[in-house]
Amino acid sequence: MSLAVKASQAPFPHRHLLGIEGLSAAEIVTLLDLSEDAAKLGRQIDKKRDDLRGRTLINLFFEASTRTQSSFELAGKRLGADVMNMAIPTSSVQKGETLIDTAVTLNAMRPDLLVVRHHAAGAVELLSQKVDCSVINAGDGSHEHPTQALLDALTIRRHKGRIEGLIVAICGDIMHSRVARSNILLLNTLGARVRVVAPSTLLASGIERLGVEVYTSMWEGLIDADIVMMLRLQKERMVSSLIPSQREYFHFFGLDYDKLACAKPDALIMHPGPMNRGVEIDSNVADDQRSVIREQVEMGVAVRIAVLQALARHLPNQ
Amino acid sequence: MNTMQASTQDQRAPSRPFALVNARLIDPFSGLDQTGGVLIVDGKIADVGPHITEDAVGNADIGDCSGCVLAPGIIDMLVSAGEPGQEHRETLATASRAAAAGGVTTIVCVPNTEPVIDDVALVDFILRRARDTALVNVLPMAAMTKGLLGEEMSEIGLLHDAGAIAFAHGKTSIASARVMRNVLAYAKDFGALIVHHLEDASLSKDGVMNEGEVATRLGLRGVPSAAETIVLERDIRLVELTGGRYHAAQISCRASLDVIRAAKAQGLPVTCGVSINHLALNENDIGPYRTFFKMKPPLRAEDDRRAMIEGVASGDIDVIVSAHDPRGAEGKRRPFAEAADGAVGLETLLAAALRLYHNGEVELHQLLQAMTANPAKLLGLKSGRLAKGAPADLMVVDLATPWMVEPELLRSKSKNTPFVGARFEGRALLTLVAGRLVYNYAD
């Protein structure tokens, strides 16, 4: 893999991690290599380091999250930071404060790292312009979710030894998925062949211009796939008449053994979680030995440790 | 009528090869028009052409069709057959007998039944009932949206797999452009055809006939032709956006024809149909509030009727349908504004269409194409052609037989024909479905 120059020594030059867009292949590989070390750390008895000793990390989640928020919290704590979780129901947003006011208020508390999830695309970048600390995008609307893409890539690389040349089928609600967008960007940057598979109503307009092959049939889209990456289907999609029903969706787009048989025999099954068993994925397939869904969660912590470490090198010292 | 049924029953499923010879073979699908015959074996066309003569087919049974046209049976893309829920108006059995008597070998049924055909079990029901009771092929369309409410998409993929031949919306248009877009985009993934009724409900509200002088004189509220054209234009923009296959169930006015022509010139997957009523009749026929002439879309002005004929002649209108819609006295014997919409048409479709041929307005080939080859292509059927291996769905037509429409003799359960007392020239003499004789005029 020509892109995979051993770049681990190259410093990560960005102050924020707002998206995969704008990251070079070398920078992504740097983060993945760092994550590999963090994964080892996570399997030791003593998981504690002091890279972020004395630093403050605020988890600012305007949208509910379990695994992303908790893994950032754990990552921060393992690196020795003080971690504060800002819960949405009690936040000032409910009282009418604007996003920027919230940012300015938090900035006054002098945090070093701000992890932000927001339901509006672009909100995290907007916030990053108003604060002095490093900002990590933990998901902004349907735009990007960079740490998810990194943890997916790490999981793939650990199993397949490479990213380049792999056929990755991303299946499901492409239109509304920030996970899909970040993954498309990252996997393309590292030289994978990316496919998206969805009914036309859940494909985003012009998606083919993002360098993916578009399929509206799972049976065709999964042919020879090395990686089958399922996306979560939100219930609202049926009310808004984008798809007819859960049973029809599962029949044509749910990952079951029949469709999985089109993929390579050793294809990895992935899902960013939380899963709707019986909607986008058959329950047995989710628990199949080819499924790496639980490992994705473990790698989530490792990637977030790596991202915090990389950004910490740019934090001002006094 | 009972005699006819009995004898057609007797002649079902001939085991021996069967040949129709000395006919004028007309197959719009291939352009064939010459004297010859068709050899039928096991319900399929085993051979066709000038070489099929009495001497050439060995021990096959022979039907002599001298002086008659032998053509593919009619595929009628817009039929309301009453089942389920309106069996007092029509059943698949009675509709299929009416069809057979009109040379129609395949009927495509609308989903606005009670309950609405929006579930795979109901598609299955229609197919089973048809298999058990119908003389002709019955192809159900399913609803595009659940309950035909225009809000949530129906299970288009599962319905398609269950045998729904296309997706329609009854006698209403989907009001929401967003829903229509989603339906077109989603149906495209399954190659499913969308058949849409064109009527902007807010414009047609309270209207009971074509808007204009005649309505004004009669003191009836009108429906402007724009109610149709607006929906058509919107839909075509959505076809452009989604690439979905779209068929306007019926157009009725010149402005709509112009819109269709423009869409076709643009290369969009757009087709359209017209009902025989809008080719044969106009708003003046309503006369003294005759409710058998009340329908949706309403009968239009004479210029619109002329446009519909031009459209068929030029091929811009792809399909002619009966728009068969049986209505009982309870619906029709009312003041015009309160009467039900719709007219039966299965038995009169061919004869009324032949008027256009006899008048020199549309060539026979073009006329038959719009009722056989074109619907077959749109629906992806193997029938609708005289070709080896195709199902032997055929009609033998005498172009000259004079006859008069006597409503009490119609096979349809409902007698609401606007062609009451009409004198026609030409009709089906024999109708065969999968090689079985299902209608014989001589009976």
pLDDT in tens, A29-56: 999 999 999 999 999 999 999 999 999 9
Distance between B126 CA and the closest CA of chain A, angstroms: 21
Q: Tell me if ipTM is over 0.90.
A: no
B157, B182, B185 member nearest A248 (Cβ): B157
How many helices and strands in chain A, by DSSP H and E?
Answer: 12, 9
Query: Would you state the pLDDT for residue A317?
Result: 62
Q: Measured between alpha carbons, how far is residue B78 from residues A174, A225, B81, B247 in Å?
A: 37, 44, 10, 12
pLDDT in tens, B42-74: 999 999 999 999 988 888 899 999 999 999 999
Q: Where are the beta strands (DSSP E) in B221-260?
A: 222-223, 245-248
Q: Where are the beta strands (DSSP E) in B269-323?
A: 270-275, 319-321
A contact set with B (CB within 8 A): 199-201, 216-217, 238-239, 241-245, 247-248, 251-252
Give yes or no for residue B9 having a pLDDT over 50. no
Which residue in B has a C-alpha nearest to residue A217's C-alpha?
A: B189
Give yes or no for residue B14 having a pLDDT over 70. no
- Judged by DSSP in three states, B130 sits in helix
Give yes or no for residue B95 having a pLDDT over 70. yes
Which residue in B has a C-alpha nearest to residue A216's C-alpha?
A: B189
Distance between B159 CA and the closest CA of chain A, angstroms: 10
B147: left (phi over 0), alpha (psi -120 to 50) or beta: left
Cα-based angle B54, B55, B59 (whole degrees, multiple of 5): 80
Comparing CA positions, the residue from B71, B84, B33, B184 lying closest to residue B427 is B71
pLDDT in tens, A142-171: 999 999 999 999 999 999 999 999 999 999
CB contact under 8 A, A200 and B178: no
pTM: 0.91
Query: Would you state the pLDDT for residue B56?
Result: 87
Q: Where are the beta strands (DSSP E) in B170-318?
A: 193-196, 209-210, 222-223, 245-248, 270-275
Q: Measured between alpha carbons, how far is residue B89 from residues B82, B259, B324, B417, B421 in Å?
A: 6, 35, 11, 13, 21
Categorize the per-residue pLDDT at A6 as very low, low, confident or very high, splitting at 50, 70 and 90. very low
Distance between A217 CA and the closest CA of chain B, angstroms: 8
Q: Alpha-carbon distance B98 to A311, whole Å? A: 79
Query: Would you state the pLDDT for residue A77?
Result: 96
Question: What is the token pair recorded at A153?
Answer: 């890539």
Contacts of A216 in chain B (CB under 8 A): 188-189
Contacts of B146 in chain A (CB under 8 A): 244
Query: Would you state the pLDDT for residue A28?
Result: 97
Categorize the per-residue pLDDT at B443 as very low, low, confident or very high, splitting at 50, 70 and 90. confident
Give yes or no for residue B12 having a pLDDT over 80. no
Q: Alpha-carbon distance B372 to B29, whole Å? A: 8
CB contact under 8 A, B157 and A252: yes
A241, A251, A252 member nearest B182 (Cβ): A241
Contacts of A259 in chain B (CB under 8 A): none
Which residue in A has a C-alpha nearest to residue B144's C-alpha?
A: A244
Give yes or no for residue B286 having a pLDDT over 70. yes
Q: What is the mean pLDDT of chain B?
A: 95
Which residue in A has a C-alpha nearest to residue B188's C-alpha?
A: A200
pLDDT in tens, B109-146: 999 999 999 999 999 999 999 999 999 999 999 999 99
